[in-house]
Structure 1
């Protein structure tokens, strides 16, 4: 089958994107039932915090190993297995009777979740040419943000209607069904193999890793993703609500609207930036522009001593979300810079940079708040110093994108 000219590639795209949508929603959905978990399991806020972060730790730590495995054996098996593991983990989560089982369920979900992005990138690389890929990876990025959106009001309404256990059980069953459906779409219908060992993979993993780790282009991609992802997921997802409540005196509900504004920005930005990049046949130029914009946005918080006027704050949150949509250009650059048979590993390496920053930023920001609030007694001053963290992270991203090289003439490397 000529994959890149087949109409069936759109069935592949729709199926993989839908799987990503549902799997992404389960990254943050447990945050909706924090109070119920604390009550039902009689656990502390510290335990709940660890439970919330463990999936991201598992996800981040598995990106490079998953990239190696996907390159070596193909993405089909890992995407199908990942959907099933995420579904099984969610079902176990819904039936947990002890906090230990909750942790084991989230670890299992994290392992399944770790398969989705690198597998998605490689599947789209195989089925679509470089220009189509540049547009569609932006749509994929939007789908992740849409998954986060589903895990807010819609899933909260489902929890209110059915209770948290039945709600998570239902999603778990849906994910298991998606895993079975993906087998027929990715393997059975196009007559593909579940596991396919590529011919060139006789190279030792150690040598392959050494070559990628010594690649300036790979490190530039790592830094790009580190700079653009951490501020959005790390701050918007963890500190936006308490920031709004502490410095602007607004309610928790009103503060949560800041997250929604940023999410809307991301939903618009991801496909639009991908489309612009494809039309221009350039990655570096738009990526540099948005890294500069992100750096300016975070620096604005410093200019206003951590508390810009509320109208400007709303605009900043929207632009930060919109700029986050440019992170899909990282994987467009992977597509053009490395052979497809290595894109899983490089995508995993770059994605590690993004989620490493998302894991590091909330804890660093929190430590800065504790340090300066204790020494100065002013929460406003503490937030001011805290904002140096996303500024520095954004600066790392800008350096990375400046070092990035692109070559649209090499649009199908290694094929």
Structure 2
């Protein structure tokens, strides 16, 4: 309780968000150099897709286990280790001599990334009161969007000036330093300031067994699967495409420079930054999550279908609008966790949120790899033909998200109960 009234909690908040900001930038930054890696290492499009997929595979596969382990050993340890793994993985990536080392580096980055969001949520819930915590999660989402934004024009310009290795090497060093800073801020300093937390770890052993019971219940719950599918359709298609193929798509199909192609990603990010607060506001005005969320899913689905309709090369103005809508959908995916909060007991919200988040990143694992195989298949055809058929993948994935939106059961009654519990 003392922690939640201290000024020091804002130091914790700023430090954790800075680490999250840097880590999120490394989810999509490698997508800026896909074509360079193909030239430098003679890689196929399928291998580039695998490089992205292996990172998100580690992320999605470790989401729920990390949540369980964090309950047992505490979130501080895993957040610190996650930042260090991310930094070490990025450093290895920057000096990689071959594709096997590149794959190992992305695996480490994905494992480190997996430890971030779940533990960020737990740490903020310990340091802030419930009313502050809910609002600050929104700020965390914006920090993530700015992390993605860093990996567009600024990072692209840096790469154009120095080549791709120095920017990744420097970022790796900063990430390692942020891990050391997290250790000081989360572990060393609080032990000096607060000496009343000795009994806290004893209570957490009983909750460990409850988590396994909750997991069994989740896998048989329709509402949990609805949130999983919603995230699969919105987050996975956005992150999977942005993180690997958006820049090469702009360069090959529209003959853009790397910097101009990275601006497409920035357009999507502006949509994402607007999407979370605006859709949440609309949802509260309508007193409904399902209706606005279904509309978002529908528009994102239609945007991907438009790529197919124009054979992979829509008019540029339409392309800008489509990237904006797809980015908006990624921002609006915050409503997935609003559904979770309104539908599940507070003791289950963390685990169900991890399950829903797994859906998004499982999609981000599958999309780049399958997309790359489609491009390889049409390698002898014109580039626009390869992309045209590649866009079938996000269309199908977005359709799965739309089905998830339809599956959602509106639970206004539970919302009142949840708000009473949170007071």
Q: In the superposition, relative to structure 1, how do residues 72 and 156 fare at CA in structure 2: closer, same or farther (>3 Å)?
A: same
Residue 419 of structure 2 is matched in structure 1 by 411
Residue 396 of structure 1 is matched in structure 2 by 400
Residue 294 of structure 1 is matched in structure 2 by 300
* TM-score computed with the length of structure 2 as normaliser: 0.81
Kindly provide the CA deviation profile for residues 217-245 of structure 1, in whole angstroms up to 9, marking residues without a partner as x.
22111011011112212234434345445
Secondary structure at 1:411 match in 2: helix
- Of 263, 270, 273, the residue aligned with 2:269 is 263
Kindly provide the CA deviation profile for residues 42-76 of structure 1, in whole angstroms up to 9, marking residues without a partner as x.
55346555434322221122112112223444422
CA shift, 1:4, in A, is 5.6
For 2:225 and 2:345, the matched residues in 1 are separated by 16
Residue 170 of structure 2 is matched in structure 1 by 170
CA shift, 1:256, in A, is 3.5
Q: In the superposition, relative to structure 1, how do residues 236 and 92 fare at CA in structure 2: closer, same or farther (>3 Å)?
A: closer
For 1:339 and 1:360, the matched residues in 2 are separated by 31
CA shift, 1:113, in A, is 1.0
CA contact (8 A) 2:93 2:106 kept: yes
CA contact (8 A) 2:28 2:239 kept: no
- The alignment yields a C-alpha RMSD, in angstroms, of 3.6
Secondary structure at 1:62 match in 2: helix
- Of 343, 366, 369, the residue aligned with 1:363 is 369
CA shift, 1:372, in A, is 7.6
Indicate yes or no: 2:54 matched with 1:54: yes
Matches within 5 A, 1:112-261: 112-128=112-128, 132-159=132-159, 165-187=165-187, 188-189=189-190, 191=194, 198-203=204-209, 206-244=212-250, 248=254, 250=256, 253-261=259-267
Q: In the superposition, relative to structure 1, how do residues 44 and 211 fare at CA in structure 2: closer, same or farther (>3 Å)?
A: same
CA contact (8 A) 2:67 2:354 kept: yes
For 1:147 and 1:122, the matched residues in 2 are separated by 21
Q: How many residues align?
A: 412
Unpaired segments ≥5 residues, structure 1: none
Residue 84 of structure 2 is matched in structure 1 by 84
Q: After alignment, is 77-86 or 46-55 more displaced? A: 46-55
Q: In the superposition, relative to structure 1, how do residues 260 and 196 fare at CA in structure 2: closer, same or farther (>3 Å)?
A: farther
For 1:183 and 1:311, the matched residues in 2 are separated by 47
Q: After alignment, is 405-414 or 291-300 more displaced? A: 405-414
For 1:203 and 1:121, the matched residues in 2 are separated by 21
Q: After alignment, is 82-91 or 152-161 more displaced? A: 152-161
CA contact (8 A) 2:31 2:243 kept: no
Unpaired segments ≥5 residues, structure 2: none
Kindly provide the CA deviation profile for residues 353-404 of structure 1, in whole angstroms up to 9, marking residues without a partner as x.
0011122223334455666898xx6766665554443233223222223333
Matches within 5 A, 1:10-49: 10-33=10-33, 42=41, 44-45=43-44, 47=47, 49=49
CA contact (8 A) 2:229 2:401 kept: yes
Q: In the superposition, relative to structure 1, how do residues 195 and 278 fare at CA in structure 2: closer, same or farther (>3 Å)?
A: farther
* TM-score computed with the length of structure 1 as normaliser: 0.82
Secondary structure at 1:44 match in 2: coil
For 1:39 and 1:379, the matched residues in 2 are separated by 17
CA contact (8 A) 2:289 2:335 kept: yes
- Of 304, 313, 317, the residue aligned with 1:311 is 317
CA shift, 1:158, in A, is 4.3
For 2:77 and 2:112, the matched residues in 1 are separated by 12
CA shift, 1:249, in A, is 5.3
CA shift, 1:23, in A, is 0.9
- Of 306, 323, 334, the residue aligned with 1:328 is 334
CA shift, 1:101, in A, is 4.0
For 1:121 and 1:161, the matched residues in 2 are separated by 37
